[in-house]
Amino acid sequence: MASPGVVDTRQIPHPPHRIPVLGDLLSVDPASPTQTMARHARTLGPIFETKFFGNRMVVVSGPDLYAELGDEKRFGKHVGFGIAAAREFLDDALFSAYTDEPNWSRAHNILMPAFTLPAMKNYHDTILDTVRELLAHWDRRLQSGPVDVHIDTSKLTLETIARIGFGYHFDPFTRGEPDPYAAAVMRTFAYVGRSAYRIPVDWLERLVHHRANAQMDADVAYIRRVVDEVIAARRASPEAAPDDLLALMLTTADPATGEHLDDANVRNQVITFLNAGHETTSGTLSFALYMLATHPEIAAQARAELHTLWPAGADPDPAFGEIHQLRFLRRVVDETLRLWPIAPGYFREPRRDTLLGGRYPLAAGQAVLALTLKVHRDPVWGADAESFDPDRFRPERARTRPPGLYKPFGTGVRSCIGRQLALHETVLALALILHRYDLVPEPGYTLEVAEEFTLKPANLRLGLVRR
């Protein structure tokens, strides 16, 4: 028993069946780790710990403790587990850099102006053109049965970020086979998602997972080759370069230091935006389409809002400002990200030894997983927290909830830099899809959620009926 006044560290519970060396490996499903942790939180409470091969991680899912982790004076981003694995091929890109690495602040300062809300005006027409290509693709397939939603939304979002960011065209809707770059990206996401369970002895990890590691090496080499070709083509013809992210990274100096990004870092940033920038938005779109298909009354309400701008039967030509008038559809997106945050959690670490909630001891540098997936479904959202209700985000209802609980894009200075782009693209795409089609769920399908570093619906197919 702890002495009076001394905090007992044993008050942080852990899953049952912990065993030597492997720790809690038997208590977590590697195919769905955050969903497993959310289930553990129901019995273990708002904070618990897990260990894998001696690596300790504290999992926080209580609303008060979760909000406390957002205090930038006490906590910062932790680069470990899956993020550490991502560093093996992204190094010090925005997502995977340590906050005190020079290239993080350098790239952040250079790129921030490209992700402000006013900057979205420059991307709007390109996003619109790409969404129309998806619609034309679906129109050609109307007689062929249901569409594979996530495959097609992934094509859409990869093409969008490639065009607006780097002037590159994959042209996915004219290809007869899956794009090899997109396939490589999917495999790298899956690999990184499993990285928490890698054997910490390098030679043994290479032996046991030889095939997966060899595939990862091949995928990384291929992805780098594609991106290097994009950068080389831009350098060869700078006079024809569009005003995009790549141009910013190649020509702009950090206003704080006057320094430019080196070529290796530019490549890492491009890979980060192509990979994470498309997978996250495609997941959001896929979940939102599932929610609208399975809640026809909400789809009808969203469609009625669309018809106030673009009459039924007409082919919309949305102006940039009109997308921001779609307040109900935006609430559909917000509620989708509440129930299924594409990034189901984010890592934090104490800047110095501290007590979380005044009670739970955390050492400086300790990995803490802020489990967004569980916090977004806490009863603090209402007795119906598991249900889909976009009006939950009406301003008058949002004001009744404690602050700091809705964080699908992370928190603080290390939150997602592409948030405005993702939201604009998602609302625009949903608007055009809903205006053109009725969405028909596939009979007998129950939502399956796959985890490959991010969350996404698995095997989701929807029928489309042209309106």
Annotated binding site: 416
Sign of the CA dihedral running 35, 38, 42, 48: positive
Helix axes 263-294, 419-436, angle to 10 degrees: 40
Question: Which of 444, 119, 408, 147 shows the shortest CA–CA distance to 284?
Answer: 408
Instruction: Decide if 416 is catalytic.
Output: yes
How many Å apart are CA 22 and CA 25, to the nearest integer? 6
Instruction: Decide if 280 is catalytic.
Output: yes
23 Rama sector, left if φ>0, alpha if ψ -120 to 50, beta otherwise: left
| Radius of gyration, alpha carbons of the chain | 23
> Two tokens at 464?
């489309």
**Residue of 409, 426, 453, 454 marked catalytic:** 409
Question: Which of 88, 87, 84 shows the shortest CA–CA distance to 365?
Answer: 84
Residue in the block written with tokens 């530019």: 266
CA triple 86-205-184, angle to 5 deg: 40
> Two tokens at 308?
């106030």
**Residue of 416, 426, 453, 454 marked catalytic:** 416
Cβ-contact 441, 462 below 8 angstroms: yes
Side chain identity at 338, as an amino acid letter? Answer: R
Give the count of beta carbons closer than 10 Å to the beta carbon of residue 315. 10
Instruction: Decide if 34 is catalytic.
Output: no
Local structure of residue 2 (DSSP, 8 states):
P
Cβ-contact 12, 46 below 8 angstroms: no
Which secondary-structure segment (H or E) carries 309? Answer: none
Distances 39 to 67, 166, 371 between C-alpha atoms, Å: 20, 41, 11
Binding residues for heme: 416
Sign of the CA dihedral running 213, 171, 126, 113: positive
Cβ-contact 101, 92 below 8 angstroms: yes
How many Å apart are CA 98 and CA 89, to the nearest integer? 15
Q: Which is it for strands 454-458 and 75-77: parallel, antiparallel or unpaired?
A: unpaired
Q: What amino acid positions are annotated as catalytic residues?
A: 280, 409, 416
